[in-house]
Amino acid sequence: MASIIPSAHLADVRYEIRGALTRRARELEAAGLDIIKLNIGNPGRYGFEAPAHLREAIASHLHDSEAYGHEQGLEIAREAIAAQQHRRGAQGVEPERIFIGNGVSELIDLSLRALLQPGDEVLLPSPDYPLWSAATILNGGQPRYYRCLAANAHFPDPQEIESLITPRTRALVLINPNNPTGAVYPRALLQQLVAIAARHRLLLLADEIYDEILYDGATFQPLAEIAADLPCLSFGGLSKVHRACGYRVGWMSLSGDPVHTRAYRDALQLLAALRLCANVTAQWAVAPALQDAPTIGALTAPGGRLHDARDAVLRGVAGSDYLDLVAPHGALYAFPQVRVDRFASFDDEVFALRLLEEESVLVGPGSSFNLPRSRHFRLTLLPSSAQLREVFVRVERVLARMASEQPLQSAGVAA
């Protein structure tokens, strides 16, 4: 029988966060090993729960969830999202410019599918959340990466971004607060980036799914408020802030001048209609999630579980002979790197595999996030602080072994 050949579009598409390393971790688990998994930001897997009133809202509307709903999402949910966007200073966000999807994931794809012609370019961060690259490629576009270097606090460099723009560039993607780095962008930086988008007529795509997950007094600046009448699509959802990844509810809201975004809005609506509607059941949780008092602050404030987990990571790195870290100020991850003075060269994929095989800890190597020649790895802040302390003991053991195996000429100068 002839083999079934998959689409050539997939040749450059990767999602290593659930890739080969994760498959190997499953094999090890099946063989009876206890693996500490730090590779996915999935709160429900670490004992976090969605707020009870969201669950109750869904349960009490089960009977109202059996028919297809509006292609853009339940009216009551879109009204709550519009009200949130108005409070944040976004211009012109009405329920008809809001789209609810099966997670932000579905909407990332939809937003790019409605935008791109073959060969169009999209400015993406490196490191990125890899779905943005995958969706760009799958929709015929070309990623153009701007760097968010640790040496620059993982902030983008506006000059570099502007230098990457060509006549084919259509959109600028910002992930703020950032996955995987935890950077939270200051207002002045966002103002510069919006000015670039204005000069070059780029659509702003603001992935703000971690908008309320903030540490150490950091403040979140919604991009839409600064963008004012420029076209901006802002993404949010229930997965992270409301700890309900499995509900699969995300939204995007289109702000800015309604005349110039009309055709794009209509294209989004057509694509939304083609997939009929998002899962109706879980959309009942949106209005209570956005209208009632926020619940995430208790977890990120001193004494809260995420706060303490972040603290354990900061201490783990401070006590390490090999690691450096730009402290994360938002989101659910830390992105440490191995110091150049300890390892002249470093293969993050070899390290991640050894950490799994030798110490039963699963992390994402930095290169999984479209970061070439990475010395980084990403871990989530979701486990308990005790578990994270144990993780750093194991990380240190692997790094010590790798350091002792380095060829003499490339061993770190400080070793």
Ligand X SMILES: Cc1ncc(COP(=O)(O)O)c(C=O)c1O
- The residues binding ligand X (CB under 6 A) are 41, 103-105, 129, 175, 179, 207, 209, 237, 239, 245, 250
Backbone angles phi, psi at 68, to 5 degrees: -55, 145
Tell me the closest approach of the beta carbon of residue 283 to ligand X, in angstroms.
Answer: 13
Sign of CA dihedral 155, 130, 394, 216: positive
Whole-Å CA distances, 3 to 6, 57, 174 = 9, 48, 40
Q: Which is nearer to ligand X, 120 or 207 (CB)?
A: 207
Tell me the closest approach of the beta carbon of residue 374 to ligand X, in angstroms.
Answer: 18
Bridging pattern class, strands 377-380 and 364-365: antiparallel
Q: Which is nearer to ligand X, 95 or 125 (CB)?
A: 125
Q: Which is nearer to ligand X, 179 or 295 (CB)?
A: 179
Give the residue from 61, 95, 92, 99 showing the smallest Cα distance to 79: 95
Tell me the closest approach of the beta carbon of residue 203 to ligand X, in angstroms.
Answer: 17
Whole-Å CA distances, 144 to 134, 149, 204, 359 = 12, 16, 15, 36
Separation between Cα atoms, residue 222 and residue 218, nearest integer Å:
13
Q: Which is nearer to ligand X, 72 or 105 (CB)?
A: 105
Tell me the closest approach of the beta carbon of residue 334 to ligand X, in angstroms.
Answer: 14
Tell me the closest approach of the beta carbon of residue 42 to ligand X, in angstroms.
Answer: 8
Rg of the chain's alpha carbons, rounded to an integer?
A: 22
Q: Which is nearer to ligand X, 92 or 103 (CB)?
A: 103
Q: Which is nearer to ligand X, 95 or 103 (CB)?
A: 103
Q: Which is nearer to ligand X, 105 or 367 (CB)?
A: 105
Tell me the closest approach of the beta carbon of residue 224 to ligand X, in angstroms.
Answer: 16
Q: Which is nearer to ligand X, 103 or 383 (CB)?
A: 103
Tell me the closest approach of the beta carbon of residue 288 to ligand X, in angstroms.
Answer: 18
Tell me the closest approach of the beta carbon of residue 318 to ligand X, in angstroms.
Answer: 26
Residue with the closest Cβ to ligand X?
103
User: Residue 315 burial (CB < 10 Å; 0-12/13-18/19+)?
Assistant: middle
Separation between Cα atoms, residue 359 and residue 35, nearest integer Å:
8
Tell me the closest approach of the beta carbon of residue 383 to ligand X, in angstroms.
Answer: 16
Separation between Cα atoms, residue 91 and residue 192, nearest integer Å:
19
Tell me the closest approach of the beta carbon of residue 144 to ligand X, in angstroms.
Answer: 18
Separation between Cα atoms, residue 238 and residue 251, nearest integer Å:
9
Q: Which is nearer to ligand X, 180 or 256 (CB)?
A: 180
